[in-house]
Amino acid sequence: MDKLVDDNIFEISLIGTGGGYGESIVIHLGSKEWIVIDSCIDPKTNKSLPLELLRLKGVDIANDVKLIICTHWHDDHIRGISDLLENCINARFCMAKATDTGKFLQLVGLDHYKAKVNATASSTKELANCLKIIEERKIPIKGAEQDKLLYSVSNIEHSTNVFSLSPSDLVIDEFNGEISQLITDYGQTNRKIINNTPNEKSVAIYIAFNNHSVILGSDLELSENKLKGWKCIVDNCSCINSKSSLFKIPHHGSSNAYFKDVWDNLLIGDTLANITPWNRGGKLPTKEMLLKYLSHTKELYVTSPIGINNKPKKRDRDLQKAIYRFNKSLYEVKFDFGVIQCRHNINQKNTNWDIELIGKALKVLQ
């Protein structure tokens, strides 16, 4: 991995862990300005992987990281994000806007309390820590919504703009009702907050630099309702002014995040497409979906091989036999670290990307 990144290089590093331990994207916008989307951890060290990557690249983390975007508060997108924010002293924090902030904070506060006394595994612990840091720094949260400019770099040589494509107004409004339901569910017994539809609220990102652009799909899914999800983006987003040459395929390449119109209308042919697989339970992407993606592009990459490990952790032989006797289905979710690093000279007119595969990342061939 090259340590130094030139000012005129736009770089996107997609970090994957095989699904179980999350995903993150580290982006150099040019001119030593960096942003990070989501966070994940190494389960052995508990360290934030995007933070480690920034350190490895020799980035001045305190000064040069300008924005941290939390696309949604699912465990596989949020782990280690408070540690990241703590270190990125000059970074703004961005998340989907909650119109009833008071109610939202009440939910986070109650959940955080239960986590502190070990009653549940909190989904919102990282978020609660981030909100405390933001309060101390007295800097407003960037509320993500459709067509909103989140960050901009502009100089004589180039301009780079970061927009949020979602959530839509309807999704933001519906979230209030959902918080009430979550609070009611929360009050019951020993349960962790289960947020059934956070993928609708995922923040998808569009970045335009000079004549090029990329779309980073987060976990945003397709909805039957035209005012939500990918349909709403294709029909209504006015910030998209060029077809993109790089696409982070949403939601681990699942079928419910696939929308043909995105490929036809928002992306160039043979766009560079990257996936973070989900190697748990119903593994993602399926073979059928991989073939579908390959029908759109020859440039398809994954951060790690797709496939489930079917063995439990290694233990004492007698114990292992006893465990197998009681439960044959037990398996360990492996930590499969991989990074797809894509670089593009901001001033170049062609759409070619330089790709470096790190760790377990690989190209998918037909």
**Which residues contact another protein by CB under 8 A?**
20-21, 43-44, 97, 101-102, 105-106, 108-110, 113-114, 117, 119-121, 131-132, 134-135, 138, 140-143, 183-194, 280-281, 312-313, 315, 318-319, 322-323, 325-327, 329-335
Question: In the complex, what is the shortest distance from the CB of residue 82 to another protein, in angstroms, rounded to a whole number?
Answer: 14
Compare residues 305 and 312 and give the one whose CB is closer to another protein. 312
Shortest Å distance, C-beta 143 to another protein: 4
Q: In angstroms, what is the minimal distance from the CB of 43 to another protein?
A: 5
Nearest to 167 by CA among 182, 180, 178: 178
What is the C-alpha separation between 218 and 71, in angstroms, rounded? Answer: 7
Per-residue burial over 81-98, b if 16 or more Cβ lie within 10 Å, else e, is bbbbbeebeebbbbbbbb
How far, in Å, are 34, 45, 167, 187, 223 from residue 204 at the CA level?
18, 29, 8, 31, 14
Please report how close the Cβ of residue 4 comes to another protein at its closest, in angstroms. Answer: 33
Q: What is the C-alpha to C-alpha distance for residues 366 and 362, in angstroms, rounded to an integer?
A: 13
Nearer to another protein, 160 or 195 (CB): 195
**Is the CB of 221 or the CB of 336 nearer to another protein?**
336
Q: How far apart are CA 248 and CA 275, in angstroms?
A: 6
Of the pair 224, 282, the CB lying nearest another protein is at 282
Q: For residues 189 and 366, which CB has a smaller minimum distance to another protein in the complex?
A: 189
Closest to another protein by CB, 191 vs 226, is 191
The nearer residue to another protein, 274 or 276, going by C-beta atoms, is 276
Number of other CB atoms surrounding residue 155 within 10 Å:
10
Exposed / middle / buried, residue 202 (Cβ in 10 Å: 0-12, 13-18, 19+): buried
Tell me the closest approach of the beta carbon of residue 226 to another protein, in angstroms: 27
CA within 13 Å, CB half, 101? 8
Distance CA 5, CA 140 (A): 30
Question: Smallest distance from the beta carbon of 352 to another protein, in angstroms?
Answer: 37
Nearest to 352 by CA among 268, 292, 261: 268
The pair of structure tokens assigned to 335 is: 């930590």
Give min distance, CB of 104 to another protein, in A.
Answer: 9
